[in-house]
Amino acid sequence: MTIRLEQSAIGSHVEEKKNVHKEETNELVVAKDGAFKAPEINAFGQSFRDYDVESQRQKGVEEFYRLQHINQTYDFVKKMREHYKKMDKAEMSIWECCELLNEVVDDSDPDLDEPQIQHLLQTAEAIRKDYPNEDWLHLTALIHDLGKILTLPQFGGLPQWAVVGDTFPVGCAFDEKNIHHKYFKENPDSKVAAYSTIDGVYTKGCGFDNVLMSWGHDDYMYMVAKENGTTLPSPGLFIIRYHSFYPLHKEGAYTHLMNEEDVENLKWLHIFNKYDLYSKSKVLVDVEKVKPYYQSLIEKYFPAKLKW
C-alpha cells in the first residue's frame, strides 16, 4: 500500500540555490577528502527548495501555507499535544516505523521522489561519512521524519498542514520572516492581544522547551522519543524537534526565546540541515546492507518496543 501525501512542503525559500550546474547525475557527492558535498540538483533535475513561479507546485505550496497559518493556533497545538501524549495508537520498534513510513511517498515535496526510508538512510549515511564518531547523529537522521506517520489513518490521519511544512511558535507574534506571512492575518490568534507581542505568553530567554510550536511531525517524534525514555543526547532531540523550524535555523527569527542550551544545540541543527536538504538523491541506499548498523544504534538509544 502506498499512501500519497497531497501537499507537503518543507518550506519555501525561493532565493536559495538558483545557480544550477549542468550535472547529469545527482549522486551523494563525496570529495577527495571523503567529505560530503551537496549536489546542486534534486531528483527532478531542479535546484533544491526551488519554489519559484516556474515550479508547477508553487500554487499548491502557497495554498498549503494558507491553511497551515490559519489553522495552527495556540489552542489547537495544546489539544494535539494532549491527545498524542497518551501514546495509545500503536506499539512498535523504531525500525518497524521506518518501514511503515516507507508506505508514504511525499508527492509534493519538490525535492523528494523516493520512498521516505531512502531519504532517512541517505541523510544518515551522508552524515555518517563526515561525522563517523557521532553515532547519535546518525540515528537522529534516521528517525527525524518518522513523525510523518501522523498522516496515516491509524495515527489520526491528520491533514498535511498539521504534519509537514515549516514550523513556528504559537502564543507570540508571528515573525515576518515566516514564509507566506500574510496568511497569519486570518489566524484567530492574531486577534488575541496576549499572543500578539514579540514575547507573547513567554519571557525573553525562556528556552524553546517552554515554547509551544505549531503541531507537526517534529514535535510528535520528539514526544515519542522522550516519553519512551530515549538516551539520545540533547542536540539529537533538538534536531528532531526543530528541524522544520526554518524561521529559526535559516532566517534567524525567534532567537530572543532561546536559552544557552538552545544556542549550543542550534549549531548541530545547522550541520544536520545541510544533509537533510541535500541528501534527497536518486542514488538509493542498500537497505539490507546498512540495516545491522542502524539496528545496533536503535538498541543503544531506544527500548525494543515504543509506544506511539
Binding site for Fe ion (CB under 5 A): 145, 276
Residue 116 CB, nearest approach to Fe ion (Å): 9
Residue 191 CB, nearest approach to Fe ion (Å): 30
Burial of 243 (0-12, 13-18, 19+ CB in 10 A): buried
- For 158, phi and psi rounded to 5 degrees? -65, 150
Residue 13 or 256 with smaller CB distance to Fe ion: 13
Residue 241 CB, nearest approach to Fe ion (Å): 11
C-alpha cell at 123: 541523510
Residue 24 CB, nearest approach to Fe ion (Å): 25
Residue 11 or 60 with smaller CB distance to Fe ion: 11
Residue 262 or 276 with smaller CB distance to Fe ion: 276
- For 3, phi and psi rounded to 5 degrees? -105, 125
Residue 40 or 145 with smaller CB distance to Fe ion: 145
Q: State how far the Cα of 198 lies from the Cα of 172, in Å rounded to an integer.
A: 6
Residue 211 CB, nearest approach to Fe ion (Å): 19
Residue 114 or 145 with smaller CB distance to Fe ion: 145
Residue 244 amino acid letter: S
C-alpha cell at 292: 545491522
Residue 50 or 276 with smaller CB distance to Fe ion: 276
Strand ranges for 78-117 from DSSP E: 91-92, 104-106
Sign of the dihedral defined by the CA atoms of residues 93, 98, 103, 104, in that order = positive
Residue 118 or 187 with smaller CB distance to Fe ion: 118
DSSP string, 210-250: GSPBPPSHHHHHHHHHHHTT----HHHHHHHHHTT-HHHHT
Residue 112 CB, nearest approach to Fe ion (Å): 8
Burial of 176 (0-12, 13-18, 19+ CB in 10 A): exposed
Partners of 5 in beta bridges: 106
Residue 185 CB, nearest approach to Fe ion (Å): 27
